[in-house]
């Protein structure tokens, strides 16, 4: 017997789980649509030329590659010293941002000038599976391309804030920082420009290993201890103060023109969103770094006192589309961590009851002719009722046990007499109450139930 | 510059296309739910041990395989004479039936005894791309496992009939036949048992190459001309007559007990569905063979005079789950050809208008302070209105051109005076009419619009 488990790090979503996943996705979609975001879907496979070099060396390692087939494979295998690169030219989608950049480069003229898109699709990463970390998982992204206006940042942040609110997440904040500000801190601290990447990677771990841990890591990676300390002083500036105070403190600390412009951006963004859903959530966090290298402006991350790690993040990336088209197209986006959101909603009991099963199961008594029963089921369904039909000739007790197992609220019991009189026995399982109803009565009583 | 096209045979779905695809999927889902079908989703990747040998030799060729990585790849490449089988152990989902069989084998006890599931997910086949044939495409399946009762066939056929009806397909019929009947015809015609597969493959081409073509193919493949002719006489029996007449003709022609039982099945199924949505569609078609080898009972296929080829098909397959679990679990299902349905709906104009864009775009005049505009947008959105916000400071004419491009019906024009008076100018673009409204008036007028 072969194994019937799904592959390692991947999951079968049984009906109850699908229902929860859809609940979250549909809430997010509904809100994205209210903000004017349009849906996009891209293929599961991308050319490796599209994917490679976009996610750093580690990302390239984690890509799933599609093995060549037929003649192409045979030619590759006939070579001496065949390598990975000879065996594949396609890979699986690794995130939703690079495909968006490719799409904007490819269809630029067919898309709205300001392209606001949302995309909810799975991605694949050959990471070591762990609790909450899967090899196939969904991302849920909103992005705006085509404008450098901070209104785009505001739209993205407000939409995400509405989703968090709508799903029931309280105690969340959105940490916000600016890549240019980070670069200025690095410069002011006296690091060499080529140490920027190293510094960002280390700072990104502030919430995990703390100030001392990052200090040690910076020194280990060849950054002088005094410079490291200076840099860390900037990133933890004005803990506990409000955004206005932090802006002021950073203005004093970072006199560079570039830093002052980045601080103007953040100041403007706080003003723009002052009356909007993200206002109470935004928290200027000078130590926020974000791992990905392609960010160029404001960066964001959802944090909460209720859990470690993040529920999502994003930022401005004005150069990524240009890597595909040669033409700069500014962009800003946010990616929600759907898997983590689902996990937390389960833990915190944030899901409402999600009825999924039918409202009624028709239970024909043994010896009942079935054609009129199937006919009745069809008419009730066409009237909008979710109807299950017990498929076998079986004793009523056994049928009612199935109704109970499936959590179906009503059983409709039909024998030959009921068929002759066109009056049927509707039994409410929880209360045990029964009533006789004709078809119209059934439709009236049952079609008012909410659809799932 | 690297290519920004999607890989060959795969597609980017831009927003307008996503909307159409979702329209069809949501209609199908809604109907499946009314029949008590529950949603299932399975991983994109399956172990190759799950997939291989289920789709015939050609299917095995068309599987996408995932290249090993890291040490596993290095070890494989270090071998002499490395083969395809050494380089991959995972493949991409090829259909939705085999994953269902695996899931039923794996989670049997956690699933309802009669498991009615629907599944709408992409599958991948490395076929040569052609018009309407893609390498990544969606399937839309309903199946019932756990019962041999013909009520399961009836449920599946009725649900599919309702979907076709609801999408606007007229002139469709569902051809129906029985694998045991085909086997009897092959026996009665005097073919050897080991010629059954060959005969089925040839008969499957009846609608494409006609009786004479199939006759030639049967003879070419070593079946005596008289036996071939005898077989074909059975498959084309009683053209033009109704189901009852065809049943009768076949009863006379095929005196074998097994054939009589298969004819009883079909007779019962016609009775069961007599008052149900599939009744006017079902057409006994003794020449229907269906390609796949795993069918064991009734088989179905949607046919239409309006187009060649099929919109979907299915049948009973009582042995497939047993290939995974060792325990027989009967099953019957139907797969809708979503891509072909979408193509035909476009050709025949069966899509209604599917508004997708916002209902209103807010156009702030240059120099208007933006924070209160963003605030107003947020409140309208929270009131359920789909609101677009022009992101840049730009001349009104340019903004209105964008409203028009995006097919947004209304522009809400806001300057400093409007902000001071909290009265805004709402312009209906098609008519050119304008009115002044406060926030309540805007909510009243706009939140009545249907959501997409």
- Span A377-430, pLDDT tens digits: 999 999 999 999 999 989 999 999 999 999 999 999 999 999 999 999 999 999
pLDDT at res. A374: 96
Please check the confidence at residue A40 and state whether its pLDDT lies above 90. Answer: yes
- Given 3-state DSSP classes, what are the helix, strand and coil percentages for chain B, each rounded to the nearest 5? 45, 20, 35
- Rounded to the nearest 10°, the torsion over CA B397, B398, B403, B406 is 150
Q: Examine the pLDDT at A171 and tell me if it is beyond 70.
A: yes
**pLDDT at residue number B452:** 44
* Alpha-carbon gap, residue A301 to A290, rounded angstroms: 8
pLDDT computed for residue A240 by the predictor: 65
| Orientation angle between helical segments A179-188 and A196-203, nearest 10 degrees | 110
**CA atoms within 13 A of residue B125's CA, in its CB half-sphere:** 17
Mean pLDDT of A98-119: 95
The minimal CB distance from A36 to the residues B88, B387, B451 is found for: B387
Q: How many residues does chain B have?
A: 452
Least confident of A107-111, A200-204, B95-99: A200-204
Sheet with strand A434-437: strands edge to edge: A387-389, A360-364, A410-414, A424-428, A434-437
Residues A360 and A424: their CA atoms lie apart, in Å, by 12
Strands ordered across the beta sheet of B45-47: A45-47, A88-92, A65-67, B65-67, B88-92, B45-47
CA distance B53 to A132: 34
Contacts of A352 (CB under 8 A, 6+ apart): A23
Q: Look over chain A and give the mean of its residue pLDDT values, rounded to a whole number.
A: 92
User: What percent of chain A stands above pLDDT 90?
Assistant: 78
Q: Is the pLDDT of residue A450 over 60?
A: no
Is residue A293 scored above 80 in pLDDT? Answer: no
pLDDT for B244 equals 92
User: Chain A, 202-241: which have a CB under 8 Å from a chain B CB?
Assistant: none
> Mean pLDDT across the stretch A298-316?
89
pLDDT score at B293:
76
Q: A378 contacts in B (CB within 8 Å)? A: 158, 162, 275-277
CB A39 within 8 A of CB A141: no
Give the mutation candidate from B391, B401, B406, B422 for the A interface (greatest A CB count, under 10 A): B391
Window 123-162 of A, Cβ < 8 Å to B: 124, 126, 136, 144, 147, 149, 151-152, 154-155, 158, 162
What is residue B447's predicted lDDT score, i.e. its pLDDT? 79
Q: What is the pLDDT of residue B357?
A: 81
The pLDDT confidence band at residue A208, using thresholds 50, 70 and 90, is confident
Tell me which chain B residues have a C-beta less than 8 angstroms from the C-beta of A375: 274-276
Report pLDDT digits (tens) over A275-288. Answer: 999 999 999 999 89
User: From CA A58, how far away is CA B261, in angstroms rounded?
Assistant: 62
CB contact under 8 A, A149 and B43: no
For residue B381, give the nearest of A384, A189, A32 by alpha carbon.
A32
The answer to whether the beta carbons of residues A283 and A243 sit under 8 Å apart is: yes
Question: Which chain B residues touch A357 with a CB distance below 8 Å?
Answer: 36, 38
Residue A21 and residue A338: Cα distance in Å, rounded? 8
pLDDT exceeds cutoff 80 at A451 = no
Domain range summary for chain A, segments of one domain joined by +: 15-44+93-347, 360-446
Q: How far is CA B366 from the centre of its chain?
A: 49
List, for residues A392-407, the tens digit of each pLDDT value: 989 999 999 999 999 9
Mean pLDDT within A3-11: 96
Instruction: Name the token pair of A64.
Output: 């799933």
Q: What ipTM does the predicted assembly reach?
A: 0.93
Asked if the model's pLDDT at residue A449 lies above 70, the reply is no
Confidence class for position A452, pLDDT limits 50, 70, 90: very low
Say if the Cβ atoms of A371 and B49 lie within 8 Å. no
* Contact A400/B at CB under 8 A: no
Q: Which residues of chain A make contact with B1, given a CB cutoff of 8 A?
A: 324-326
pLDDT for residue B451: 47
Mark the ranges of chain B whose per-residue pLDDT is less than 50.
Answer: 450-452
pLDDT of A437 over the 80 cut: yes
Q: What is the CATH number of domain A15-44+93-347?
A: 3.30.930.10
Task: Determine the Cα–Cα distance for residues A268 and B194; give it in Å rounded to an integer.
Answer: 79
Q: Could you report the per-residue pLDDT of A50-84, keeping only the tens digit for each?
A: 999 888 888 999 999 999 999 999 999 998 889 99
Give the distance from residue A353's alpha carbon to the nearest chain B alpha carbon, in angstroms.
16
The domain B360-446: what is its CATH number?
3.40.50.800
Residue among A113, A114, A387 whose CB faces B34 most closely: A387
What is the distance between the alpha carbons of residues A299 and A315, in angstroms, rounded to a whole number? Answer: 4
In chain A, % of residues over pLDDT 70 = 98
| A:B CB pairs within 8 Å | 313
SS (H, E, C) A287-331: CCCCCCCCCCCEEEEEEECCECCCCEEEEECCCHHHHHHCCCCCE
- Residue A448: pLDDT above 70? no
pLDDT at A290: 87
**Whole-number Å distance between alpha carbons of B112 and A174:** 43
pLDDT value of position B240: 65
A360 to chain B: closest CA residue: B36
> With a CB-CB cutoff of 8 Å, which residues 17-76 of chain B face chain A?
18-19, 21-22, 30-31, 33-36, 38-47, 49-50, 61, 64-67, 69-70, 73
């Amino acid at each position: 017997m072969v194994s019937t488990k799904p592959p390692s790090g991947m999951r079968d979503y049984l009906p109850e789980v699908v229902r929860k996943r859809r609940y979250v996705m549909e809430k997010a979609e509904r809100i994205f649509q209210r903000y004017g975001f349009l849906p996009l879907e891209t293929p599961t496979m991308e050319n490796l030329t599209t994917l490679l070099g976009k996610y750093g060396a580690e990302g390239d390692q984690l890509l799933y590659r599609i093995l060549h087939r037929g003649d192409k494979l045979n030619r590759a295998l006939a070579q001496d010293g065949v390598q990975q690169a000879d065996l594949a030219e396609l890979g699986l989608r690794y995130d939703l941002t690079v495909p968006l950049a490719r799409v904007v480069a490819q269809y630029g003229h067919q898309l709205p000038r300001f392209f606001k898109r949302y995309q909810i699709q799975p991605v694949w990463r050959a990471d070591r599976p762990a609790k909450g970390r899967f090899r196939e998982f969904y991302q849920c992204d909103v992005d705006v391309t085509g404008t450098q206006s901070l209104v785009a940042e505001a739209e993205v942040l407000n939409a995400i804030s509405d989703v968090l609110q709508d799903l029931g997440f309280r105690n969340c904040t959105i940490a916000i920082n600016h890549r240019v500000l980070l670069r200025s801190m690095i410069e002011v601290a006296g690091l060499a420009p080529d140490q920027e990447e190293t510094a960002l990677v280390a700072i990104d771990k502030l919430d995990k290993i703390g100030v001392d841990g990052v200090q040690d890591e910076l020194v280990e990676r060849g950054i002088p201890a005094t410079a490291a300390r200076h840099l860390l002083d900037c990133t933890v500036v004005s803990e506990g103060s409000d955004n206005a105070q932090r802006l002021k403190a950073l203005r004093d600390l970072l006199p560079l023109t570039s830093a002052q412009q980045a601080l103007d951006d953040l100041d403007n963004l706080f003003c723009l969103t002052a009356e909007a859903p993200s206002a109470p959530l935004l928290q200027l966090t000078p130590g926020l770094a974000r791992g990905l290298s392609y960010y160029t402006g404001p960066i964001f991350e959802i944090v909460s006192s209720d859990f470690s790690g993040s529920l999502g993040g994003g930022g401005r990336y004005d150069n990524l589309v240009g890597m595909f088209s040669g033409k700069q197209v500014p962009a800003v986006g946010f990616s929600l961590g759907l898997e983590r959101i689902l996990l937390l909603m389960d833990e915190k009991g944030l899901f409402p009851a999600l009825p999924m099963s039918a409202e009624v199961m028709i239970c024909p008594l043994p010896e009942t002719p079935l054609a009129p029963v199937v006919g009745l089921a069809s008419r009730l369904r066409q009237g909008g009722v979710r109807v299950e039909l017990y498929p076998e000739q079986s004793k009523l007790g056994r049928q009612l046990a199935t109704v109970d197992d499936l959590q179906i609220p009503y059983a409709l019991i039909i024998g030959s007499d009921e068929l002759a009189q066109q009056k049927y026995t509707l039994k409410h399982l929880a209360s045990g109450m029964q009533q006789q109803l004709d078809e119209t009565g059934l439709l009236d009583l049952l079609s008012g139930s909410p659809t799932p």
